[in-house]
Structure 1
Amino acid sequence: MVIRRSTERSNDWLKPVDDDEDEGFLTVAEDAEATGCLDDGNRSTLDLTTTTLPVYMTIHRDPKMNALVVRPLVERLYNPDDISVVYCLLANRVSFLRDQSREVHQSVNQARAILCELLASRVLRRFHEDNPGAQGLLLLAHILVEGFDPFQGAPAHMERPANRPQWPGASKENPGSERKVTALELAIVSESKFFISSAACQRAVDAVHNGQIIYTPLSFMDFLPDHYKRRPISLYDPRTAPLLNHHRLIVPRNRNLIELVHFVILLALYVMTMVSRHSEVNMWEFAFCIYTFGWLLEKTAAIIEHGWEVHAQNLWAFLDITFGSIFGAYLILRIYDFLLDQLHSGYGLPILCIAAPVMLTRVAFNLLPNNLVFISLHAMMKDFTVLTFLATWCFTGFLLALQWLVSASNDGDEEFSWYVVGKWMLWIWFGLDGEGIEESVRFHIILGPALMIAFAFLGNTLFLTILIAMLTNTFSKIVADETAEIQFRRAVLTFEGVKSDSIFAYPPPFNILALMTLLPLKLVTTARVFHIINVALIRVLNMPTLLLISFVERRRLWMQSRRAAGKRSKWQFTSLSPHTDVQAVFKSVPPTEISDIIDQLDPLGEVPILEDDLMPTMAGDNPQSKLRRWRMLQREGHRRTEDNQAWSSQSSIKDE
């Protein structure tokens, strides 16, 4: 047996674990004794004296993971001129999470993934603390939503598959066809909820959600691409923006409200279709079908733009898929009814009726996206679907066994239909009726009751116990970290709300007409002409919406915070609150003389110089991260001093 020293392993913590190396420690020597131990020449034991080890001293050395592991790594990785560090750390987290499928290295890769997320959040916090103000917010936005190429900076001879076109219509000259990934997208895919819930990330997410930060996102594929003018990541000022600014249609806050209105219109058409389903000529059904085609086109474009992994994190993604499946089945059966001339007594409308629970539930999900119950339902649906699939698979096995058993026992004289046997087993599964157990002797005098009773134990008792345990565990995890879950869902809505495809600017069903007319037009015109036509049509179709957005942003959301105290309106409803002054005092900027007095009361000369850096004299110029680290060290030193003094006093008392 070879014993490796700790110095040989100190530099190998980043290397992948070798399976052959692990198996080498498990090989059995040929000269082992009959008792299973090696002889004295092979040193089957070690001469270690554990009674003299300084266990107490080692315990009270008080090692801090944050100070010994995380903080040195943050100091080494943090570079004010390199904003791709956060992206690289999250990319490593995604890689470690995908590699944990191997059971031998699952815990190792999971620990590495957690460390990458922790380092990414700490590095992002350093950027946030060292860059205050509006420019710091802009820097955070660049870190999170700027696209990075994984092969950027690689040697020239390496193959770069990420730069190849992802679909036949894309080209390398088109800036929208390149496939780059943002740090926020990696955080969503890897479910880095601790990173997303950090203050720095939430500041940037809120700015993008409210439209304070604007940019043109990257997309995998566009149905109606228009990349003639790509907007860089910048701060938005409504005072200098045009009145009909079509880019405000892709602001996540506005986009969520617009999509809610679109779905409410779809629900209204669905209700009118069901109410008038017995009419001779149902124009509501025709309008519902046309509008649903446009709505499904919009949802398909959303899935393709950001990928299914991101779209699946949306709370109502499974409801949209369910409704799309129901509508597809309805459409096929409705065409079949039309061919057989049985529109009033066909199969299409009954299929469409079962979409009511899905659509009404989706409205509730839209109105309360941050509700903990709906967030839990979204998470528990995955566990419920997987477990139900496994239970159905076992259910089919019992069903086949009973069918073959009755054929073998009665020589075909007495047979039960699949429907009857399946109904008996389903009632037993739900605990509603025991008729299947009573009739089981007709399958076989011994094996029939044995199969039915075994199915009752497995399907009813064991399955329900496992299901309740799994759902309870999932719900308890979500409740334990409620804030992080809500902020994660908000980040998903924000990232998905920023659209790149022009098809989203056309409301249903005009998006179908735009796709049928503008896409062929793009092939015969220049990019500039197509951009002019596209923008003009978008502004005409969305003129009421754009005017309303411009009015709200200029008068209620942006200009109100910039008004002077003397220009306030005579009547303001929020002034009735007794806590208005408490809220207003933190929004006002302190005058210069107040800042000077505060600097004199808290002189920075008492703060020691950290890491051989020059300490600025002004409090506003001093990076908050250095002050925070100094305060932590100072508190730790005071605590140790007090503990030592208390221990010394107790020792002296005992000696006396």
Structure 2
Amino acid sequence: MESAFDDSDALLECAPGEHFTPDPHADLPVYITIHRIRKLIISSIDDPYSLEQLKEPRMNILIVRALVDRLYNPSDVSVVYCLLVNRMQFLREQSYQGHLQTVNITRATLCELVATRVLRRFDDDHPGREGLLLLANILVAGFEPFQNAPIEVLRENPSALQWPVQRRGGYERKLPALEVAIISESKTFLSSSACQKVVDAIYRGQVIYTPLSFVDILPDHYKHNPISLYNPRKAPLLNQYRLIVPRLRGMIEICQFAILLALYALTMVSREGLKITFYEVIFCAYATGWILEEFAAIIEHGWKVHTQNLWSFLDITFFVIYGTYFTTRMYALSSGQTYLGETALNILAIAAPVLLPRLAFNLMPDNMLFISLRAMMRDFSVLTLLAIWCFAGFFLSMKWLLDVSNHDGSRDGPDPATISKWMLWIWFGLDGTGIERSVDFHLVLGPSLMIAFAFLGNTLFLTILVSMLTNTFSKIVANATAEIHFRRAVLTFEGVKSDSIFAYRPPFNVVALLILLPLKLLLSPRWFHSVNVAMIRIHNSPILLLIGFYERHQLWRAPNGQPRGPSKRSKLFPWTFSGFSPHGDIQAVFETDPPEAILGKTVEVDLLTVRLEPVSQPQSMASGS
């Protein structure tokens, strides 16, 4: 998210480097700090400990606080990044170093705990808006693991600096600490008050910055502006960068998905046989633009970050369904095989169980049911695939028993599809036909195999599945606050978009891609930036006007009318209809601060009364003495 500036000045800039703000943290010794921290952590932990044990007073004084005192440096904002990078490495090592698995987990936990304490100390030592800006630099400024590494190290690792595919004016290969915390699932760190302060400021658009990305479909990297606090009164009224503020971006995405769902419903309701209707054409155009936007979101920060979203598995499922439908539909039109058109519409019909829950996920991202459902679906899918793999042996045994007993073809036996259906019914306890017909395979071995499969599949497997899902749900509920804060951090980080394609609404993003991508090859970066900004502002002018008028009065305004910081309410809409509730005054009394003069006199009188008033003893104690 970039700071406000007048893009008309872009035409006046000629020097190739003037549009990029130099990296203020380029001189920090990130490579040395990473390896210094690694040696300190390894020398501090030789035995496995839990997070609760590391927080105990003795461990806190001997290890945690000592590391914080040694690593905390007010002039080095890369320490938190280096700690989280070491956490990632320890977590990776525990997966293949079996003899040090628990110790490496403890070391990773210690890195996260120390990073949390260091960030909290930065917050305590730097209050106010300047402190908020410093915390934002710690979390969203980009760093490179090989930054300021010795020359001989770079020579030994020539492939370490080759992964970027797009120029960013010196900001290539850099990752922010917030992204490292997300991909390492540092939920304790992300749920800390200092981290949530920055996440909330980014979510509301009070902290603005130019995001770093891996690949952009429609890149416009002409300008890179520093991390700063946004002042809406000094910004242009049509500020296209406000379209990628996470809170505003989330509202726009909900509206876009609601339109997609409405067009899908109209397409399925207004079907006229195999004829392509007007609603189907509009739906295909809009869905193509929506999928393009989601695809850009996946490649912007990588698959691992995108899959941390609650609804990522629903999006991937819809991609597959829509891609299969569209390909089949187009092939039916080109080949003249009309019966394939019916197949395509049948494929599209199964998208309803995916699209309807996806809207609920968008509207209630903090709901514990949806947060736990994502983790439980992952465990369920893994265990089901393992069970199918293991139980495939029963299917092969019964198939081969049937082939041996019916080698001459004298009698009709069940086909493989029927055997699979019987096993599936037994698995879920729906029907016992497979047990009754098991003598068709073999008089003794057939019933033995079916009964063994019933015990293992229906009894043992389902018991394990229920126990595993119950354990997963219990862990998530027990750590509900950290889970919710983690999801908020993911949504906020992904909401700050770098790709210009996100500034165009579907299906116009497809048109913009077809027009602007060839122009990028013909125009200079300065002219391409000017054309892109002009198109974005024209396309989104009503939305930008509403955002501009709203934020000039509400972005930094407190409930009492004084523009002094974030509002006490962090809801989607700032209005509260307390007049319709008999308990509304209880909330309203805390929304308005009393005058300092009256409050000061009251506090002084109360303190004086407390000091002069003698402590009265209970009657029973007085009589007993």
* TM-score clears 0.5: yes
Of the candidates 185, 191, 195, which is equivalent to residue 201 of structure 1? 195
Instruction: Quote the offset at 1:493 in angstroms.
Output: 0.1
Matched residue, 1:371: 367
Of the candidates 449, 453, 464, which is equivalent to residue 455 of structure 1? 453
Please say if residues 90 and 104 of structure 2, whose CA atoms lie closer than 8 Å, have aligned partners that are also in contact. Answer: yes
Provide the rounded CA distance (Å) in 2 between the counterparts of 1:545 and 1:539: 9
Matched residue, 2:98: 103
Provide the rounded CA distance (Å) in 1 between the counterparts of 2:92 and 2:517: 38
Provide the rounded CA distance (Å) in 1 between the counterparts of 2:44 and 2:93: 10
Q: Structure 1 residues 500 and 345 mapped into 2: Cα distance closer, same or farther (>3 Å)?
A: closer
User: Can you give the 5+ residue segments of structure 1 that lack an aligned partner in the other structure?
Assistant: 1-10, 19-61, 566-570, 603-656
Instruction: Quote the offset at 1:551 in angstroms.
Output: 2.3
Instruction: Quote the offset at 1:594 in angstroms.
Output: 5.9
Provide the rounded CA distance (Å) in 2 between the counterparts of 1:157 and 1:103: 32
Matched residue, 1:577: 585
Q: Structure 1 residues 283 and 147 mapped into 2: Cα distance closer, same or farther (>3 Å)?
A: same
1:216 aligns with 2:213: no
Q: Structure 1 residues 579 and 448 mapped into 2: Cα distance closer, same or farther (>3 Å)?
A: closer
Provide the rounded CA distance (Å) in 2 between the counterparts of 1:482 and 1:506: 36
Matched residue, 1:307: 302
Please say if residues 128 and 200 of structure 1, whose CA atoms lie closer than 8 Å, have aligned partners that are also in contact. Answer: yes
Provide the rounded CA distance (Å) in 1 between the counterparts of 2:233 and 2:560: 11
Instruction: Quote the offset at 1:181 in angstroms.
Output: 1.0
Matched residue, 1:523: 521
Superposed CA offset, 1:228-259 (max 9, x none): 11221100111111111100001000111111
Of the candidates 299, 303, 312, which is equivalent to residue 317 of structure 1? 312
Instruction: Quote the offset at 1:345 in angstroms.
Output: 6.1
1:120 aligns with 2:118: no
Matched residue, 2:463: 465
Provide the rounded CA distance (Å) in 2 between the counterparts of 1:73 and 1:17: 12
Please say if residues 246 and 491 of structure 2, whose CA atoms lie closer than 8 Å, have aligned partners that are also in contact. Answer: yes
Provide the rounded CA distance (Å) in 2 between the counterparts of 1:256 and 1:12: 42
Provide the rounded CA distance (Å) in 1 between the counterparts of 2:181 and 2:77: 15
Matched residue, 2:482: 484
Q: Structure 1 residues 369 and 162 mapped into 2: Cα distance closer, same or farther (>3 Å)?
A: farther
Q: Structure 1 residues 233 and 454 mapped into 2: Cα distance closer, same or farther (>3 Å)?
A: same
Instruction: Quote the offset at 1:268 in angstroms.
Output: 0.9
Please say if residues 164 and 178 of structure 1, whose CA atoms lie closer than 8 Å, have aligned partners that are also in contact. Answer: no
Listed as ranges, the matches of 1:72-471 within 5 Å are 72-101=66-95, 102-159=97-154, 164-166=161-163, 168=165, 170-171=166-167, 174-175=168-169, 178-278=172-272, 280-338=275-333, 339-342=335-338, 346-413=342-409, 414=411, 415-471=413-469
State the percentage of identical aligned residues.
Answer: 59
Counterpart of 2:184 in structure 1: which amino acid? S
Instruction: Quote the offset at 1:182 in angstroms.
Output: 0.9
Counterpart of 1:300 in structure 2: which amino acid? F
Counterpart of 1:404 in structure 2: which amino acid? W
Provide the rounded CA distance (Å) in 1 between the counterparts of 2:61 and 2:44: 25
Listed as ranges, the matches of 1:19-34 within 5 Å are none
Provide the rounded CA distance (Å) in 1 between the counterparts of 2:297 and 2:192: 27
Counterpart of 2:592 in structure 1: which amino acid? A
Counterpart of 1:142 in structure 2: which amino acid? N
Superposed CA offset, 1:598-627 (max 9, x none): 9xx99xxxxxxxxxxxxxxxxxxxxxxxxx
Superposed CA offset, 1:35-77 (max 9, x none): xxxxxxxxxxxxxxxxxxxxxxxxxxx9711111111111001
Provide the rounded CA distance (Å) in 1 between the counterparts of 2:83 and 2:246: 26
Matched residue, 1:549: 547
Instruction: Quote the offset at 1:161 in angstroms.
Output: 5.5
Counterpart of 1:250 in structure 2: which amino acid? I
Q: Matched residue of 1:383: which SS?
A: helix
Instruction: Quote the offset at 1:419 in angstroms.
Output: 1.2
Matched residue, 2:530: 532
Please say if residues 238 and 548 of structure 2, whose CA atoms lie closer than 8 Å, have aligned partners that are also in contact. Answer: yes
Q: Matched residue of 1:237: which SS?
A: coil
Q: Matched residue of 1:153: which SS?
A: coil
1:501 aligns with 2:518: no
Provide the rounded CA distance (Å) in 2 between the counterparts of 1:236 and 1:63: 41
Provide the rounded CA distance (Å) in 1 between the counterparts of 2:66 and 2:548: 48
Give me the TM-score of the superposition, normalised by structure 1.
0.77
Please say if residues 149 and 162 of structure 1, whose CA atoms lie closer than 8 Å, have aligned partners that are also in contact. Answer: no
Matched residue, 1:644: none
Q: Structure 1 residues 579 and 432 mapped into 2: Cα distance closer, same or farther (>3 Å)?
A: closer
Please say if residues 403 and 416 of structure 1, whose CA atoms lie closer than 8 Å, have aligned partners that are also in contact. Answer: no
Instruction: Quote the offset at 1:13 in angstroms.
Output: 7.1
Instruction: Quote the offset at 1:288 in angstroms.
Output: 1.0
Q: Structure 1 residues 579 and 512 mapped into 2: Cα distance closer, same or farther (>3 Å)?
A: closer
What is the root-mean-square deviation in Å for CA atoms of aligned residues? 2.7
Provide the rounded CA distance (Å) in 2 between the counterparts of 1:63 and 1:195: 19
Counterpart of 2:375 in structure 1: which amino acid? A
Q: Structure 1 residues 269 and 346 mapped into 2: Cα distance closer, same or farther (>3 Å)?
A: same
1:14 aligns with 2:10: no
Provide the rounded CA distance (Å) in 2 between the counterparts of 1:123 and 1:559: 30
Q: Structure 1 residues 165 and 277 mapped into 2: Cα distance closer, same or farther (>3 Å)?
A: farther
Provide the rounded CA distance (Å) in 1 between the counterparts of 2:115 and 2:300: 26
Q: Structure 1 residues 130 and 210 mapped into 2: Cα distance closer, same or farther (>3 Å)?
A: same
Bigger radius of gyration: 1
Please say if residues 208 and 252 of structure 1, whose CA atoms lie closer than 8 Å, have aligned partners that are also in contact. Answer: yes
User: Can you give the 5+ residue segments of structure 2 that lack an aligned partner in the other structure?
Assistant: 1-38, 47-55, 564-574, 609-625
Counterpart of 1:471 in structure 2: which amino acid? L
Q: Structure 1 residues 592 and 310 mapped into 2: Cα distance closer, same or farther (>3 Å)?
A: farther
Provide the rounded CA distance (Å) in 1 between the counterparts of 2:134 and 2:303: 29
Matched residue, 1:635: none
Matched residue, 1:40: none
Instruction: Quote the offset at 1:591 in angstroms.
Output: 7.5
